[in-house]
Amino acid sequence: MRAVRIEEFGGPEVLVPVEVADPVAGPGEVLVRIEAAGVNRADVLTRTGRYHRAGRPPLIPGLEAAGTVVAVGEGVSGVAAGQRVMAMGPVNEPGFYAELAAVPVAQVTVLPDGVGMTEAAALPVAWLTAWLCLRRVARVAVGETVVVHAAASGVGSAAVQIAVDAGARVIALTSSAAKAAWASELGAQDTIDTSEHPGEAVVEEVLRLTAGQGADVVLDTVGGAVFAQSLRQVGYAGRVVTLANVALEPSTVNTLDFYPKNVTIHGFQLTNRLEHGYAPGDDLNEIARRVAEGTFRVPVEATFPLAEASRAHQRLERRSNRGKVVLTMD
């Protein structure tokens, strides 16, 4: 089968198209013919050698995909050959930048009618992360105010819609006026262009928009220095959920920014949650159902053929994307 493999850590050029042996569905596994694979920030960090959970080259990256089941292994039930599915997998095993993948059945979800393969390939990582962070961890409630950092990213654009659907007011933080306008189209009631409000100014703007009270929930998808800002943006008894450090820099935190407010800080990592027994099926079914019904819109900004995975990574690294970048197997 065709695949794209990281031959050594480095820039986008280390993503090399290769021919490798077809995988086989083992016991408890499903063999999926992949039609689309999501591209995530973790893939970029894996490629550069800066993702702490990644293995060593050569390795096939890719955490999420959608396709059609072509075979099932011994002991598999609930999934059959010919069904359309989305799938996710651990970061340290052969991934989804390939035409075929053998996936544990617990990490495969049958797709409802009305959800396309490109949309489905964007759901298992970014959308599931945003859903779990807001609905399961922070437990966003009607009438609360939610700050979403990097609101035009894959996770951010999902989080805006999920928070609005939960009945919350959303303050979307973006890096440009164009992205801020786009976040408004997704349902954000307020937006802040961080290029116009850098550093502490963005904290002041959040406080202004909340009449000095701060937000109930802050979803921090950036990390680094932004995490310290998140602690100052949240209000009394608020919740900060932090899920990444794409800034790749330390976070210097003043405890005075959170303990006097009785703030709760939640750390979140999807792959770790999976490894500790979380079964994603029910949540992914719920997300996919809402996509099929039209409640959620899955923005896919760009698609690239599998062989052009390096261009997909370049697009993501420019941070100009609004929504997801996806590879297709045509």
pTM of the model: 0.94
Which run of H or E residues covers position 231?
helix 225-233
Residues in the chain, how many?
330
CA dist 188 and 42 (Å) reads 26
76 pLDDT higher than 70: yes
200 pLDDT higher than 80: yes
Q: Is the dihedral of CA 266, 278, 122, 115 positive or negative?
A: negative
- Please report the pLDDT score of residue 93 as a whole number: 67
Least confident of 53-57, 77-81, 162-166: 53-57
Average pLDDT over residues 255-259: 92
Average pLDDT over residues 250-276: 91
Provide CB contacts within 8 A for 278, sequence distance 6+. none
Domain ranges for the chain, please list them: 2-122+298-328, 126-270
pLDDT tens for 270-321 read 988 988 888 899 999 999 999 999 999 999 989 999 999 999 999 998 877 7
Average pLDDT over residues 196-206: 93
Distance of CA 258 to the CA centre of its chain: 26
β-bridge mates for residue 328, sequence order: 36, 305
Distance of CA 241 to the CA centre of its chain: 14
pLDDT band with cut points at 50, 70 and 90 for residue 59: very high
pLDDT band with cut points at 50, 70 and 90 for residue 92: low
pLDDT tens for 206-247 read 999 999 999 999 999 999 889 999 999 999 999 999 998 877
CATH superfamily for 2-122+298-328 is Medium-chain alcohol dehydrogenases, catalytic domain (3.90.180.10)
- Please report the pLDDT score of residue 277 as a whole number: 86
Q: Which fold has domain 126-270?
A: Rossmann fold (3.40.50)
91 pLDDT higher than 70: no
Count the neighbouring beta carbons within 10 Å of the beta carbon of residue 165: 16
pLDDT band with cut points at 50, 70 and 90 for residue 199: confident
Mean pLDDT, the chain, whole residue set? 94
Least confident of 149-158, 171-180, 281-290, 313-322: 313-322
